[in-house]
Amino acid sequence: METFFNLIQEVQKPGLCHRCGGCVTFCTAINYGALDLDDDGKPRYADMEKCIECGLCYSICPEIDEYEEEVRRRAAWSEPNGRIIETSVARAVDPEIREIATDGGVVTAMLLHLFEHGRIDGAIVAKQVDTYTRTPALAVSKDDILAAAGFFFDTSHGMKQFSDRYVTLSAIEGFAPLRKKGLRRVALVGTPCQIKAYRRMEAMGVVPSDSVQFCLGLFCSGNFVFKEAQREKLAGDHGFSWENVKKINIKDNFMVHLKNGETRSMPIGDLDFMKRYACRYCRDYSAEFADVSFGGIGAAEGWTTVLTRTPLGRAIFASAKEKAVEEFPKNDNPNYSSEALAAMREAAAKKKKAARHNRRELGPKTVIIKE
| Residue 347: per-residue pLDDT | 94
What pLDDT score was predicted for residue 135? 58
**pLDDT score, position 168:** 34
Per-residue confidence (pLDDT) for residue 286, from 0 to 100: 97
Q: Where are the domains of the chain?
A: 4-74, 81-362
Q: What does the pLDDT read at residue 165?
A: 30
pLDDT at residue 155 in the model: 36
| Separation of alpha carbons 356 and 371, rounded Å | 23
Cβ 192 vs Cβ 285: under 8 Å: yes
Using CB atoms within 10 Å of the CB of residue 45, give its burial: 0 to 12 exposed, 13 to 18 middle, 19+ buried: middle
The percent of the chain in helix, strand and coil, each rounded to the nearest 5, is 40, 20, 40
Return the CATH fold of 4-74: Alpha-Beta Plaits (3.30.70)
At residue 175, what are phi and psi to the nearest 5 degrees? -90, 5
Question: DSSP character for 286?
Answer: S
- pLDDT attached to residue 319: 96
All residue ranges of the chain with pLDDT < 70 are: 28-31, 126-137, 150-182, 207-208, 363-371
Question: pTM value?
Answer: 0.83
pLDDT of residue 127: 65
The CA–CA distances, whole Å, from 349 to 68, 79, 285, 354 equal: 20, 11, 8, 9
Cα(369)–Cα(13) distance, integer angstroms: 8
